[in-house]
Amino acid sequence: MMRIKQRFDQLRSASRKALVPYITAGDPAGNTVEMMHELVRNGADVIELGFPFSDPVADGPVIAKAHLRALSHGVTLNDVFSMVSLFRENDNETPVVLMGYLNPVEIMGYEVFAEKASKAGVDGVLVVDLPPEFADDFVAQIKPKGIDMINLITPTTSDERIKTICSVASGFIYYVSLKGVTGSAKLDISGVQQRVTHIKQFTDMPVGVGFGIRDGESAAAISQAADAVIVGTALVSELAKFDQEGEACMQRVGSRVSEMRNAMDNR
Protein backbone atom coordinates (compact mmCIF):
# COMPACT_ATOMS: atom_id res chain seq x y z
CA MET A 1 0.00 0.00 0.00
CA MET A 2 1.51 3.33 -1.07
CA ARG A 3 0.11 5.43 1.75
CA ILE A 4 2.60 8.27 1.20
CA LYS A 5 1.60 8.80 -2.43
CA GLN A 6 -2.08 8.52 -1.55
CA ARG A 7 -1.72 11.08 1.21
CA PHE A 8 0.08 13.63 -0.96
CA ASP A 9 -2.46 13.07 -3.77
CA GLN A 10 -5.29 13.74 -1.30
CA LEU A 11 -3.60 16.89 -0.03
CA ARG A 12 -2.90 18.18 -3.52
CA SER A 13 -6.56 17.70 -4.46
CA ALA A 14 -7.54 19.70 -1.39
CA SER A 15 -4.88 22.41 -2.05
CA ARG A 16 -3.30 21.66 1.30
CA LYS A 17 0.29 20.98 2.38
CA ALA A 18 1.47 18.10 4.53
CA LEU A 19 2.46 18.56 8.15
CA VAL A 20 5.05 15.95 9.16
CA PRO A 21 5.96 15.92 12.87
CA TYR A 22 9.01 13.98 14.04
CA ILE A 23 9.32 12.23 17.39
CA THR A 24 11.89 9.72 18.62
CA ALA A 25 10.49 6.25 19.31
CA GLY A 26 10.71 5.42 22.99
CA ASP A 27 10.97 9.01 24.22
CA PRO A 28 9.18 9.31 26.56
CA ALA A 29 9.14 5.64 27.50
CA GLY A 30 5.87 3.82 26.94
CA ASN A 31 4.05 6.76 25.37
CA THR A 32 5.12 6.73 21.71
CA VAL A 33 1.99 5.13 20.26
CA GLU A 34 -0.27 7.41 22.29
CA MET A 35 1.81 10.39 21.09
CA MET A 36 1.50 9.27 17.46
CA HIS A 37 -2.29 9.26 17.73
CA GLU A 38 -2.18 12.67 19.44
CA LEU A 39 -0.17 14.05 16.51
CA VAL A 40 -2.77 12.77 14.04
CA ARG A 41 -5.65 14.17 16.07
CA ASN A 42 -3.99 17.59 15.89
CA GLY A 43 -3.34 17.65 12.17
CA ALA A 44 -0.35 15.46 11.30
CA ASP A 45 -0.52 14.06 7.78
CA VAL A 46 2.58 11.87 7.93
CA ILE A 47 4.49 10.77 11.05
CA GLU A 48 8.26 10.62 11.06
CA LEU A 49 9.45 8.24 13.76
CA GLY A 50 13.12 8.23 14.70
CA PHE A 51 14.67 4.92 15.66
CA PRO A 52 17.26 5.52 18.40
CA PHE A 53 20.98 5.35 17.76
CA SER A 54 23.93 6.16 20.01
CA ASP A 55 25.66 8.55 17.58
CA PRO A 56 23.07 10.56 15.62
CA VAL A 57 25.57 12.88 13.91
CA ALA A 58 23.04 14.85 11.84
CA ASP A 59 20.93 15.71 14.85
CA GLY A 60 21.40 18.59 17.24
CA PRO A 61 21.61 18.22 21.02
CA VAL A 62 17.84 18.17 21.59
CA ILE A 63 17.16 15.16 19.37
CA ALA A 64 20.48 13.51 20.22
CA LYS A 65 19.44 13.51 23.88
CA ALA A 66 16.08 12.00 22.89
CA HIS A 67 17.98 9.15 21.19
CA LEU A 68 20.01 8.58 24.34
CA ARG A 69 16.92 8.64 26.58
CA ALA A 70 15.24 6.07 24.35
CA LEU A 71 18.34 3.86 24.41
CA SER A 72 18.50 4.16 28.20
CA HIS A 73 14.95 2.79 28.23
CA GLY A 74 16.20 -0.20 26.25
CA VAL A 75 14.33 0.66 23.05
CA THR A 76 15.48 -1.45 20.09
CA LEU A 77 14.61 -1.45 16.41
CA ASN A 78 12.31 -4.41 17.05
CA ASP A 79 10.52 -2.32 19.67
CA VAL A 80 10.04 0.43 17.07
CA PHE A 81 8.39 -2.05 14.70
CA SER A 82 6.13 -3.15 17.56
CA MET A 83 5.12 0.49 18.16
CA VAL A 84 4.18 0.92 14.50
CA SER A 85 2.19 -2.33 14.56
CA LEU A 86 0.30 -1.15 17.63
CA PHE A 87 -0.36 2.23 15.98
CA ARG A 88 -1.75 0.41 12.93
CA GLU A 89 -4.39 -1.30 15.08
CA ASN A 90 -6.25 2.02 15.20
CA ASP A 91 -4.85 3.93 12.22
CA ASN A 92 -4.35 2.26 8.87
CA GLU A 93 -4.25 5.49 6.87
CA THR A 94 -1.57 7.81 8.26
CA PRO A 95 1.81 7.13 6.61
CA VAL A 96 4.72 6.35 8.95
CA VAL A 97 8.32 7.07 7.91
CA LEU A 98 11.18 5.68 9.97
CA MET A 99 14.21 7.97 10.21
CA GLY A 100 17.56 6.94 11.57
CA TYR A 101 21.05 5.70 10.90
CA LEU A 102 22.52 2.77 9.04
CA ASN A 103 24.23 0.88 11.84
CA PRO A 104 21.12 -0.66 13.47
CA VAL A 105 19.75 -1.51 10.01
CA GLU A 106 22.95 -3.26 8.97
CA ILE A 107 23.08 -5.21 12.22
CA MET A 108 19.52 -6.46 11.65
CA GLY A 109 20.20 -7.11 7.95
CA TYR A 110 18.47 -5.45 5.02
CA GLU A 111 16.17 -8.38 4.21
CA VAL A 112 15.00 -8.85 7.79
CA PHE A 113 14.57 -5.09 8.25
CA ALA A 114 12.41 -4.86 5.11
CA GLU A 115 10.29 -7.83 6.13
CA LYS A 116 9.66 -6.54 9.65
CA ALA A 117 9.04 -2.98 8.47
CA SER A 118 6.50 -4.20 5.93
CA LYS A 119 4.67 -6.39 8.45
CA ALA A 120 4.57 -3.52 10.95
CA GLY A 121 3.04 -1.10 8.44
CA VAL A 122 5.99 1.20 7.74
CA ASP A 123 5.61 3.28 4.58
CA GLY A 124 8.98 4.94 4.12
CA VAL A 125 12.54 4.90 5.42
CA LEU A 126 15.09 7.69 5.65
CA VAL A 127 18.57 6.44 6.50
CA VAL A 128 20.56 9.61 7.07
CA ASP A 129 24.03 8.15 6.47
CA LEU A 130 23.18 5.93 3.51
CA PRO A 131 23.79 7.95 0.32
CA PRO A 132 21.92 6.83 -2.81
CA GLU A 133 25.13 5.66 -4.49
CA PHE A 134 25.44 2.92 -1.85
CA ALA A 135 21.75 2.17 -1.31
CA ASP A 136 21.03 -0.26 -4.15
CA ASP A 137 21.05 -3.39 -1.96
CA PHE A 138 18.83 -1.75 0.64
CA VAL A 139 16.39 -0.36 -1.91
CA ALA A 140 16.23 -3.79 -3.56
CA GLN A 141 14.83 -5.15 -0.30
CA ILE A 142 12.37 -2.40 0.67
CA LYS A 143 11.00 -1.44 -2.77
CA PRO A 144 9.25 -4.80 -3.43
CA LYS A 145 7.57 -4.36 -0.05
CA GLY A 146 6.07 -1.05 -1.16
CA ILE A 147 8.29 0.95 1.19
CA ASP A 148 9.60 4.29 -0.08
CA MET A 149 13.23 5.36 0.21
CA ILE A 150 13.28 8.99 1.30
CA ASN A 151 16.44 10.92 0.39
CA LEU A 152 17.94 14.16 1.63
CA ILE A 153 18.97 17.22 -0.38
CA THR A 154 20.91 19.99 1.37
CA PRO A 155 21.65 23.66 0.60
CA THR A 156 25.02 22.63 -0.89
CA THR A 157 23.83 19.73 -3.06
CA SER A 158 24.89 20.25 -6.68
CA ASP A 159 22.41 20.15 -9.55
CA GLU A 160 24.03 16.99 -10.88
CA ARG A 161 23.55 15.27 -7.54
CA ILE A 162 19.97 16.57 -7.22
CA LYS A 163 19.23 14.81 -10.52
CA THR A 164 20.75 11.58 -9.19
CA ILE A 165 18.84 11.75 -5.92
CA CYS A 166 15.55 12.52 -7.63
CA SER A 167 16.06 9.59 -10.01
CA VAL A 168 16.28 7.03 -7.17
CA ALA A 169 14.10 8.54 -4.43
CA SER A 170 10.43 7.76 -3.92
CA GLY A 171 7.66 9.06 -1.68
CA PHE A 172 8.99 12.57 -1.27
CA ILE A 173 12.23 14.53 -1.22
CA TYR A 174 13.44 15.82 2.15
CA TYR A 175 15.14 19.20 1.79
CA VAL A 176 17.37 20.15 4.72
CA SER A 177 16.71 23.86 5.07
CA LEU A 178 20.00 24.90 6.63
CA LYS A 179 23.63 23.93 7.03
CA GLY A 180 24.37 22.11 10.28
CA VAL A 181 22.40 19.82 12.55
CA THR A 182 18.70 19.82 13.47
CA GLY A 183 17.51 22.89 15.33
CA SER A 184 20.81 24.73 14.86
CA ALA A 185 20.03 28.06 13.22
CA LYS A 186 17.44 30.62 12.20
CA LEU A 187 15.64 29.93 8.95
CA ASP A 188 16.24 32.00 5.83
CA ILE A 189 12.65 31.69 4.62
CA SER A 190 13.20 33.43 1.28
CA GLY A 191 16.31 31.34 0.56
CA VAL A 192 14.49 28.11 1.38
CA GLN A 193 11.58 29.03 -0.86
CA GLN A 194 13.96 29.76 -3.74
CA ARG A 195 15.83 26.50 -3.21
CA VAL A 196 12.62 24.42 -3.11
CA THR A 197 11.45 26.04 -6.33
CA HIS A 198 14.81 25.14 -7.88
CA ILE A 199 14.60 21.48 -6.73
CA LYS A 200 11.13 21.18 -8.21
CA GLN A 201 12.67 21.71 -11.65
CA PHE A 202 14.17 18.23 -11.33
CA THR A 203 11.25 16.20 -9.98
CA ASP A 204 7.49 15.84 -9.82
CA MET A 205 7.76 14.28 -6.37
CA PRO A 206 6.61 16.30 -3.36
CA VAL A 207 9.37 18.27 -1.65
CA GLY A 208 9.27 18.49 2.14
CA VAL A 209 11.35 20.92 4.18
CA GLY A 210 12.77 20.18 7.60
CA PHE A 211 15.28 21.63 10.12
CA GLY A 212 14.63 24.96 11.83
CA ILE A 213 10.82 25.11 11.75
CA ARG A 214 9.66 26.07 15.21
CA ASP A 215 6.15 27.54 15.16
CA GLY A 216 3.05 28.33 13.16
CA GLU A 217 4.59 31.38 11.50
CA SER A 218 7.63 29.54 10.14
CA ALA A 219 5.53 26.50 9.18
CA ALA A 220 3.11 28.66 7.22
CA ALA A 221 5.93 30.53 5.47
CA ILE A 222 7.69 27.32 4.42
CA SER A 223 4.42 25.76 3.24
CA GLN A 224 4.06 28.50 0.63
CA ALA A 225 6.78 26.77 -1.41
CA ALA A 226 7.13 23.26 0.02
CA ASP A 227 4.69 20.37 -0.25
CA ALA A 228 5.43 19.27 3.31
CA VAL A 229 6.60 20.95 6.49
CA ILE A 230 8.69 18.69 8.75
CA VAL A 231 9.13 19.68 12.38
CA GLY A 232 11.14 17.83 15.01
CA THR A 233 13.26 19.74 17.50
CA ALA A 234 10.44 22.06 18.61
CA LEU A 235 8.34 19.01 19.56
CA VAL A 236 11.09 16.81 20.98
CA SER A 237 12.20 19.64 23.27
CA GLU A 238 8.72 19.60 24.83
CA LEU A 239 8.75 15.81 25.26
CA ALA A 240 12.09 16.11 27.05
CA LYS A 241 10.14 17.60 29.98
CA PHE A 242 8.09 14.44 30.50
CA ASP A 243 9.88 13.38 33.70
CA GLN A 244 8.96 16.71 35.32
CA GLU A 245 5.59 17.43 33.75
CA GLY A 246 4.14 14.08 32.66
CA GLU A 247 1.36 14.08 30.08
CA ALA A 248 1.06 17.88 30.16
CA CYS A 249 4.05 18.12 27.83
CA MET A 250 2.43 15.65 25.42
CA GLN A 251 -0.68 17.83 25.32
CA ARG A 252 1.54 20.85 24.59
CA VAL A 253 3.07 18.97 21.66
CA GLY A 254 -0.42 18.37 20.33
CA SER A 255 -1.20 22.07 20.74
CA ARG A 256 1.94 23.09 18.85
CA VAL A 257 1.09 20.74 15.98
CA SER A 258 -2.44 22.13 15.91
CA GLU A 259 -1.06 25.69 15.83
CA MET A 260 1.12 24.84 12.84
CA ARG A 261 -1.74 23.04 11.07
CA ASN A 262 -4.02 26.05 11.47
CA ALA A 263 -1.32 28.49 10.37
CA MET A 264 -0.57 26.43 7.25
CA ASP A 265 -4.25 26.07 6.33
CA ASN A 266 -4.91 29.80 6.78
CA ARG A 267 -1.75 31.19 5.23
Active site members? 48, 59
| 86 contacts 26 by C-beta, under 8 angstroms | no
| 97 contacts 46 by C-beta, under 8 angstroms | yes
The angle formed by the CA atoms of residues 68, 222 and 174, to the nearest 5 degrees, is: 50
> What is the spatial distance between Cα 22 and Cα 24, in angstroms, rounded to a whole number?
7
